[in-house]
Amino acid sequence: MRMSKIYGEPLTLDQIIELALAEDIGTGDCTSLSTVPAHTMGRARLLVKEAGVLSGMEVAAKVFHRVDPNIIMHQQLKDGDHIKPGDIAFTVEGHSVSLLQAERLALNFMQLMSGIATYTAQYVEALNGLGTKVIDTRKTTPLLRALEKLAVVHGGGANHRKGLYDMILIKDNHVDFAGGIRQAIEGANAYIKDNALSLPIEIEVRNATELEQVLAVGGVTRIMLDNFSPDDLKLAVDRIDRRFETEASGGITLKTIRNFAETGVDYISVGALTHQIKSIDLSLKAF
């Protein structure tokens, strides 16, 4: 039985928030503690300053509650809502020092997540009327993957694998190190059997020759067609003929994605959803 080194369970949302608060607050918010009387109460509202798609409401609520369980949050919008300048996403009320301590982290998360949701929604809109789904990749900010993938869903996209542990994805380097496509697929299936796992297997192919090798072996759930042109992708999708799920990847942009989707491919993975985005401008203002 072959087992790799175990590093531990993936970070939960609560753990991400805990680490982020430790990074920001450290031993204490010196500015707020030194300038604002301890028992002062306050209110603030989340002001939208840019059009987009909202994401991160649940995360912000957890941030405020973690800083001070007595903070009350009134949500006026929800994740996935289309937003415009002047909209109020939520209001919060509680001890002023607590609001100030939570402010920056809540904003940082929401601005990043709303940027991802907004960009994802543009890709989803480009595929309107087609059956192809836009999915993300592992090209995420270290330690923030759970948040960024959640934002993709809020934008109307879907998630690919969460990490290296919940899917077997055989890429070109795996094939080369394994000694070939057959060896890689057979090794993956043996690993699943030996370790009593239930995991989908996906394999990347770079050309028609590799596709034929995969079709001859079988034993996979999905075939990733990497850097195929739309014409070649159409030929490959037709050749696979629904025997396996299909995924297109490699340099597909907002301008070109519909051409690829019109081939009938099931999924298109876009790394840019999480690593080439602009945060949405939001602001927390006292009132």
**Which residues are known catalytic residues?**
104, 139, 171, 204, 226
Q: Are 92 and 71 in contact (CB under 8 A)?
A: yes
**C-beta atoms surrounding 43 within 10 Å:** 15
Tokens representing 273 are 């959803």
Q: Which residues lie closer than 8 Å to 268 by C-beta, 6 or more apart?
A: 132, 133, 134, 135, 247, 248, 249, 252, 257, 260, 261
Main-chain dihedrals φ then ψ at residue 254, nearest 5 degrees? -60, -35
Q: How far apart are the C-alpha atoms of 273 and 145, rounded to whole Å?
A: 12
User: Of 140, 134, 117, which Cα lies nearest the Cα of 56?
Assistant: 117
